[in-house]
Structure 1
Amino acid sequence: MTQGRSPDETHLAEVWPTLDQVPRWTDKYFSRTRAVIERYGDAEVTYAVFMRRPVVFAPRLALLWLETLAREKNADVAIECLYKEGDWVGAGEPLLYITGSFAALAELETLLLGKLGAACVAAYNAFSMCVELPEVAFLAMDARHCAGTEMAELMAYAASVGSRAAQTTRGAKGFVGNATDATARFFDQAEGFGTMPHALIGYAGSTLRAAQMFHETHPDVNLVVLVDYFGQEITDGLAVCAHFPELAAQGRLSLRLDTHGGRYVEGLGPQRSYEVLDRNAPGAIRAYRTETELRYLIGTGVSAAALWHVRESLNEAGFPNVKIVASSGFSAAKCRAMGYARAPIDVIGTGSYLPENWNETYATADVIRYNGESRVKIGREFLLTPRSGR
C-alpha cells in the first residue's frame, strides 16, 4: 500500500481512471465544453445529481474518486450529500449537489455518473435480497459478471452498503463476505470466500475425491462441496458427509446446491416436489402463486422443494449440523419465494443479480446554478429544492 493512502484510495489508484486518462474516457462534448469555458471565462457551478428510480445511496467510491482528482487539479469542490450512505432515495430526488469550477468539473461528469448510478442500483438490489431472507447469510459472487475490475469494485462495495442497510433497519444477517481478495475489505474480511468450482470435481473424477483433495490442500478452510456435478446431489452429498463425520458434526461442512434449471435434484420430480413442500411448508403452495413463483418453489433446479429434500436427507442420515449453501439465479424475487417456503438455507451465493437492471443504473447531473444564479432546463426545476433528505 502506498504510504498515506487509505485502502479505498489504493484500490482506486489501481483500477480507476487517473486524471491524465479522463480526457480519453469522458464524453467528447464535455472536453469541448471545457475548452469553451477556458476561452471565455470560468464560472462557479452547482450540479444536482439524481436518478430516475428508487435506489440505496452508495456514493463513497464515486466521491472519493472525484475528490482525489479535484485535489490533483488544485480545484476546490464542495459536495453536499442530501442522504447518508445506505439511505433509501426515491425516484427523481436529488442525491447530492456538487459546487466548483465549471472548467474543472466538466470533464468529470461522465465518469462520476457511471460510478455513482451503478453502485446505487446494486446496493438497492443487495438490500432487497437481504430483507426477503433476513435469517440467511449472503456471499457476493458477482466478480465473474462484471466488466472488469472497476465494475467489480463497485458491485462489491454496493453489496456491502445494501447489506448494512438491511442489517441496520431490518435486523438481517446480510452479506458476510464475497468471492475475491481485492474487495473482501468491504465485508470486514481479510480474504475472499470460496472452495471449489465444478471444474475441480471434473478434474478429480468424483465429488468425494474432489472434497478429499481440497481438504488435504486446505485443511483449515471450512469445506463447502458442490454436489450437483454428476446429478447425484443426495448420494454424493451423503458420501461426503460420511467421509468427514467430524467436520459434519462441527458444522464445518456445507453442501452447495447449484443444480441447473434443466433437471430436478436427484430423487425429485413435480409430484415429489409438491409432497416435500406439503410436509415442510404447506402454506407456500396453498396460496396464490405466479408461474414464476411456482417454478422457484417446486420447479427444476435449486427450488425450495429441492432444498427441503436435501435438508430432510441430511437429517435422516444423522447430519443435522451440515449446512446448505444455495446458488443459481438468486434474485430478490427468488429470495421472496424461498421465504414463503421457509427454505432451509444457511448461505446464498449470488452474483448476476447485483448488477441486474443495468438499463436503470443511469445517474443524471444537471447544472442548476451559475455563479450563484439559479438556472436549469425546463422540466428539471424540481432539482432546485429537494423534496426530502436528511
Structure 2
Amino acid sequence: MTSSSPTVPPPGVASAQAAAALAEPDIRARTDSYFNRTRQIVSRFGDCTVTYAFFIRRPVVSAPAIMLAWLQNVMAERQSPYSVEVVHPEGEWVGAGEPLVYITGSFTHLADLETLLLQKLGSPCVAAHRAYQIALSLPRTRFLAMDARHCAGYEMQELMAYAASVGGRAAQRDGAIGFVGTANDAVAPFFETSHGLGTMPHALIGYAGSTVRAAEMFHEEFPETDLVVLVDYFGQEITDALAVCHRFPDLAAEGRLSVRLDTHGGRFMEGLNPQESYAVVNRHAPGALRRFRSDKELRYLIGTGVSAAAIWKMREALDEAGFPKVRIVASSGFGVTKCACMADARAPVDVVGTGSYIPEWWNETYATTDIIAYDGVERVKMGREFLFPSSRPPKAETSGP
C-alpha cells in the first residue's frame, strides 16, 4: 500500500471547530465503550500497527478533509505517527462500498477514534453527492446553501456547509456554476467568501408593515449591499415585486435588485391558477408538459408554491414593466427532481436557495470502517475482503455520479 501524508484541508477547515482536537476525557466520553475497552486491552497486551479502511455503502462524493484534519490534530496531541492514503481525492465520485481512505498507525492510538472519525466522514460525503446532483441539474443557476436552520446544531451545520462546498466544486468541474455561498458567516470560508449571504426574512416585512417599507429600511441600513426582497408575505408577489422595482429604479437598472419567490405549497402565486399555470408553461416550454412522469413533477411545473409557471409569470411581469435586469431568486423545496423540472421548463431562475435538501435522508449517511491489516498481515472479518487494496478495481472502471 502506498502511504502519504494527511491531505491539506480546504479553505475554512483548518480553523473549523469540527477539526479541533478534543480533550482526552471528551474523546473517551463520546466514544463507544467497546472501543475504549479495546484501547485499554491493547495497551496492556502489546500495541501493533493496524490499517483501517473507511467506506460507505452507497455512492458518494469524497469529502474526507474535516475528518482528516481532526485526526491530524488528535494524533499530534498524542504524538503518535500515522499515515493516510486517500484513495478518492476530495470531490471525486466513489462507488458503493469502495474504500475512500486507508489510515495506518498505532492500534492503541486509533482504536478509540473510530466513532468520532465516522461521524465526520459519512454525512459530508452523502451531502456532497446531493449538492453535486442539485447543482448539475440546473447548471446555469447559482446556488446558496441555506441549510443551517435545518441542522442539529453547529457541528452538523459545519459538516453540511463543507459538503455543499465540495459538491459545488465538483459540479463546477463538470460545467455548472454550483454553490456560490451560504447563509451565515461562520461557514462562509468553505465557499471562499468572508460572510454569509442573504438580506431579509419574512419577519422583517411583518415588522415593517409592507414589502416596500422593509426594502426601504434594508437599503437605508445597508446601502452598498445588493437588495434581495421577499415578495410573498402578503400574497401579492407580482404587485409587491413591481412596487419595489418602481421604488428603486436605479438598483433595478443596475442589476442590483432581486426578488425572492418563497410561496408556500398551500396556494398559487398571485395571478396564477391551474389553467393560467398551464398557459404560462405552454408559452415557454410546451415540451415540459408532455414529458412529466409523476404528479410531483407536474406540481413542480404548474402547481402551487414556487413552480416553473410562477417563475415564468414573474419574469414576464418584470420584463413587461421594463425591469429586465431584476433577478429572480427561488426557494422552497428545491431538490434534484424539482430542479430537473425547472431545467426542463427552462425556468428563468437566477439563484436557488436550498435548505433541507442537503442534509435530507439521514439514514443514508452511515460510514463504516474495518481493520484490514495487523502489523502488515492482511486480515479482515469474513465478507469484507473487498476492502483489501489488491481488490480495488482500476480507476478507469469507475463512473461519475
Same fold (TM over 0.5): yes
For the Cα contact (< 8 Å) 2:135–2:177, is it kept in 1? yes
SS in 1 for 2:128: helix
**Residue 3 (structure 1) aligns with:** none
**Residue 46 (structure 1) aligns with:** 51
CA gap of 1:285–1:244, structure 2 versus 1, over 3 A, is same
The CA RMSD measured in Å over matched residues stands at 1.4
AA in 2 matched with 1:257 = L
The aligned length equals 384
Residue 96 of structure 2 is aligned to residue 96 of structure 1: no
**Residue 353 (structure 1) aligns with:** 357
**Residue 23 (structure 1) aligns with:** 28
AA in 1 matched with 2:392 = P
For the Cα contact (< 8 Å) 2:20–2:73, is it kept in 1? no
Residue 74 of structure 2 is aligned to residue 73 of structure 1: no
CA gap of 1:261–1:108, structure 2 versus 1, over 3 A, is same
1:387 pairs, out of 366, 371, 393, with 393
CA gap of 1:258–1:26, structure 2 versus 1, over 3 A, is same
Q: What's the offset of the Cα at 1:147?
A: 1.1
CA gap of 1:325–1:149, structure 2 versus 1, over 3 A, is same
For the Cα contact (< 8 Å) 2:13–2:19, is it kept in 1? no
In structure 1, C-alpha distance between the alignment counterparts of 2:286 and 2:35, rounded to whole Å: 59
For the Cα contact (< 8 Å) 1:307–1:344, is it kept in 2? yes
AA in 1 matched with 2:41 = V
SS in 1 for 2:185: coil
In structure 1, C-alpha distance between the alignment counterparts of 2:291 and 2:365, rounded to whole Å: 34
Residue 68 of structure 2 is aligned to residue 63 of structure 1: yes
AA in 2 matched with 1:364 = T
Residue 152 of structure 2 is aligned to residue 147 of structure 1: yes
Q: How does 1:230-379 map to 2 (within 5 A)?
A: 230-379=234-383
**Residue 399 (structure 2) aligns with:** none
2:117 pairs, out of 89, 100, 112, with 112
TM-score normalised per structure 1 = 0.96
For the Cα contact (< 8 Å) 2:59–2:95, is it kept in 1? yes
In structure 2, C-alpha distance between the alignment counterparts of 1:297 and 1:229, rounded to whole Å: 22
CA gap of 1:11–1:156, structure 2 versus 1, over 3 A, is same
Q: How does 1:120-135 map to 2 (within 5 A)?
A: 120-135=125-140
For the Cα contact (< 8 Å) 1:15–1:149, is it kept in 2? no
Q: Deviations over 1:328-365 (max 9, x none)?
A: 01111111111110111000001111111110111010
Q: What's the offset of the Cα at 1:389?
A: 4.3
For the Cα contact (< 8 Å) 1:83–1:389, is it kept in 2? no
Q: What's the offset of the Cα at 1:39?
A: 1.4
Q: What's the offset of the Cα at 1:19?
A: 4.0
Structure 2, unpaired ranges of 5+: 1-10, 397-401
**Residue 162 (structure 2) aligns with:** 157
Q: What's the offset of the Cα at 1:290?
A: 1.2
AA in 2 matched with 1:134 = P
**Residue 32 (structure 1) aligns with:** 37
AA in 2 matched with 1:314 = L
Q: What's the offset of the Cα at 1:295?
A: 0.9
Deviating above 2 A after TM superposition, structure 1's stretches of 4 or more consecutive aligned residues are 6-20, 387-390
2:176 pairs, out of 172, 175, 178, with 172
For the Cα contact (< 8 Å) 2:292–2:298, is it kept in 1? no
SS in 2 for 1:70: helix
Q: What's the offset of the Cα at 1:11?
A: 2.2
CA gap of 1:235–1:146, structure 2 versus 1, over 3 A, is same
In structure 2, C-alpha distance between the alignment counterparts of 1:134 and 1:335, rounded to whole Å: 10
AA in 1 matched with 2:59 = P
Structure 1, unpaired ranges of 5+: 1-5
SS in 1 for 2:84: strand
In structure 1, C-alpha distance between the alignment counterparts of 2:157 and 2:224, rounded to whole Å: 28
**Residue 87 (structure 2) aligns with:** 82
